[in-house]
Amino acid sequence: MSDPLRLGIAGLGTVGAGVVKIVRQKATLLAERAGRPVVVSAVSARTRDKDRGVPLSSYAWEDDPVALATRDDVDVFVELMGGSDGPAKAAVEAALAAGKDVVTANKAMLAHHGQALAELAEANGAVLRFEAAVAGGIPVIKALTESLAGNDIQRVVGVMNGTCNYILTRMEDGGLTYEAAFAEADALGYLEADPTLDVGGIDAGHKLSLLAAIAFGTQVDFDAVELEGIGKVTIDDIRQAADMGFRIKLLGVSRMTGRGLEQSMAPCLVPAASPLGQLAGGTNMVVIEGDQVGQIVMRGAGAGEGPTASAVMGDVMDIARGLRVSTFGRPAGTLARATPAKATAAAPYYLRMALVDRPGALAKAAQALGEAGVSIHRMRQYDHVDDAAPVLIVTHKTTRPSLDQALAAMMATGVVTHEPVALRIEEV
């Protein structure tokens, strides 16, 4: 059997400890599958004496992750510290500069610095892998870079943040307000230290930007992702969308168009009976559409010790077997800088508004839509609330600029009590 593949693991939180457990508990299985032993040589974390539920005394300890990344007895640097800059980035750069392969779960770092790190890896003959950075245990990176390599990818769609999906599911199943569901998720420890990373769509936007780069052969451009969180989604939206056969999801959508690369992460309606509509709790789902394979749906745990550590080990095992794949599936120098494009592909929209209680109000709202070229597919009016009439409209396919023109004209008529809520309906 060949020499062992030696890991240096920086970051011993939930995922890092999970990786150590897999290496220790499944040593024979890993060696049989890789054709060589996989071992841990050294580790690094902020606190040395913390009980992490797994023995660490047999491994060398480095206080400085950069020192760990450049040790002679480390073949693969496993970065699980997190953070887009700081020690994580410095250690990864040091490992790549030394020609060492890197496996990371750090979506923020790659979303902001992925192109430069990919170029550094290739310049030094190293591999940079990041399956664990997107959708936890779902092998979506491997699918795009390897299994679907013979396809031109047409669209990538997905629910990529389990916390947001949990909140939206609890709002529907439990009849909870957004605030109550948020508090419940917080109490269960589902939220990031900065909750806006989750509910603001930033975490999921990082992941979408990485998938888009692989799918469409472009440089990572997180700054071009259109972001809208779930904070404005109300229990009324949840109930009324369900009443019309839809569910609301924080949905990432990316497609290459004649105008450029669309990347949006925003609340959308999906058909309740669709795979995405059936997705509940903290589960993730990614839908990939290729010209040869059609639509592929991948569903699984998007976070947690086991699923994320499993993804890390998948990358480690590929390296142990000698598989060398470019960071984003193609040589970094060939990746194009995409022209950002707003998500204006025609789609139906869900509109919720409250009309003033006077004759002709509904007619004026409908006229504003019609004059902007937006036709109504379905409409429902509910009982008056505080002298206002709640109205729901599902449009036929239209572009966002046309819809914005209609909404502006509607506001100018004075028949709506506040700015209407407009959510795109994504057909999946």
Please name the helix (run of DSSP H) or strand (run of DSSP E) that holds residue 283, with its range, or none: strand 283-290
Structure tokens belonging to residue 209? 């930007």
CA geometry: angle 187, 189, 191, nearest 5 deg: 100
Among 100, 107, 142, 207, which one carries the catalytic annotation?
207
Structure tokens belonging to residue 284? 């993730």
Please name the helix (run of DSSP H) or strand (run of DSSP E) that holds residue 251, with its range, or none: strand 246-257
CA distance 346 to 16: 44
Torsions phi, psi for 38 (to 5 deg): -120, 125
Structure tokens belonging to residue 25? 């508990």
Can you tell me which residue has the tokens 């969308």? 241
Please name the helix (run of DSSP H) or strand (run of DSSP E) that holds residue 372, with its range, or none: none
Q: Is 89 a catalytic residue?
A: no
144, 217 Cβ separation under 8 angstroms: no
CA distance 424 to 50: 47
CA distance 408 to 373: 13
336, 219 Cβ separation under 8 angstroms: yes
By CB atoms closer than 10 A (0-12, 13-18, 19+), residue 344 is middle
Q: Which residues are catalytic?
A: 207
